[in-house]
Amino acid sequence: MERNRTPVVSGWFTGTEEDGDFRLLGTRCSACAAVFFPREDAYCRNPHCPGGGELAQTPLSPRGRVWSYTDGRYRPPAPYVSDPDAPWEPYTLIAVELEAEGMVVLGQGAPGVTVADLAVGMEVEVIGGVLNEDAGTVWTTWRFRPVEPAGVTA
Ligand SMILES: [Zn+2]
């Protein structure tokens, strides 16, 4: 049976890991051009905004630079969803300063990306990934991975 692919949070990103056009989605205020992620749909949170703007959905930069990173060596407490009987797989958490917006977005590293692969200031890209799977649903999310410069090997 084909399982549903469902974003773990609705409206925060678009695309899939397969289509190569995965983007985080924020909103931009038409009055002051402030960009929000997570998306702000109710009102502009910029205290210097002249007001009266509309918040429109906008795709965020597909790339950014590592601002900070760490790894999660321990199982987070509820409501994090994990199987208590499965061995805990350490994951890498990366804070990325997006190229155009300059805002810092948190996300997990793509599978196989460890802290040993990362450095502050390194260029990374956002891709689609899977957070969790159950019998009927594949819960999708975003991940970051280093951008390999063409022709350069590590
Ligand atoms: Zn505004």
For the chain, give every domain's residue range.
4-145
Average pLDDT along the chain: 88
What is the C-alpha separation between 87 and 99, in angstroms, rounded? 36
Ligand 1 centroid–CA 43 distance in Å is: 8
Model confidence at 54: pLDDT above 70: yes
Model confidence at 5: pLDDT above 90: no
Ligand 1 centroid–CA 35 distance in Å is: 9
The two three-digit tokens of residue 46, written as one number: 């910029």
Mean pLDDT of 54-58: 97
Answer with the residue of higher pLDDT: 76 or 27: 27
Ligand 1 centroid–CA 64 distance in Å is: 23
Q: What DSSP state is assigned to residue 99?
A: T
Query: Residue 70: CA atoms inside 13 Å, Cβ hemisphere, count?
Result: 4
pTM (two decimals)? 0.83
Ligand 1 centroid–CA 28 distance in Å is: 8
What is the C-alpha separation between 40 and 12, in angstroms, rounded? 10
Mean pLDDT of 7-31: 88
Q: What is the largest CA-CA distance in the chain?
A: 53
Q: What is the pLDDT of residue 150?
A: 54
What is the C-alpha separation between 43 and 103, in angstroms, rounded? 18
**Tens-place pLDDT, residues 75-126:** 766 666 677 787 777 789 999 999 999 999 999 999 999 999 999 999 999 9
Ligand 1 centroid–CA 49 distance in Å is: 4
Ligand 1 centroid–CA 50 distance in Å is: 7
The kind and range of the H/E element at 71 are strand 63-72
Model confidence at 154: pLDDT above 70: no
Smallest CA-to-CA distance from 1 within 143, 138, 145, 139 is with 138
- Which residues are registered as beta bridge partners of 91? 72
Ligand 1 centroid–CA 154 distance in Å is: 43
Q: What is the pLDDT of residue 16?
A: 75
Ligand 1 centroid–CA 27 distance in Å is: 10
What is the C-alpha separation between 131 and 22, in angstroms, rounded? 15
Mean pLDDT of 43-56: 95
Q: What is the pLDDT of residue 62?
A: 95
